Amino acid sequence: MTDPAAGHGPLPAPLLPPDLEARLAAFESAAPPAGFDAASWFWMLLLGVALPLGLLVLGWRA
């Protein structure tokens, strides 16, 4: 018995709702959407790592 997931043949495209299909096509035809940029990482490191560490030290000494 073979598992379809393990095969490597081409798979028929499943039918999706037209609106969803249009949305997916729009994403696929454009450049990949941006995630976090350098500024995002800076603020995340500052507010999510450096600030908590600073607060921890400050609080422990208080």
Cα dihedral 46, 48, 49, 52, rounded to 10, equals 100
Q: Which 1-60 residues touch other proteins, going by CB under 8 A?
A: 3-8, 10-11, 14, 16-20, 23-24, 26-28, 32-37, 39-40, 43-44, 47-49, 51-53, 55-56, 58-60
Please name the residues in contact with 16: beta carbons below 8 A apart, sequence gap of 6 or more: 24
24 with 16: CB under 8 angstroms?
A: yes
Chain residues binding other proteins by CB under 8 A are 3-8, 10-11, 14, 16-20, 23-24, 26-28, 32-37, 39-40, 43-44, 47-49, 51-53, 55-56, 58-60, 62
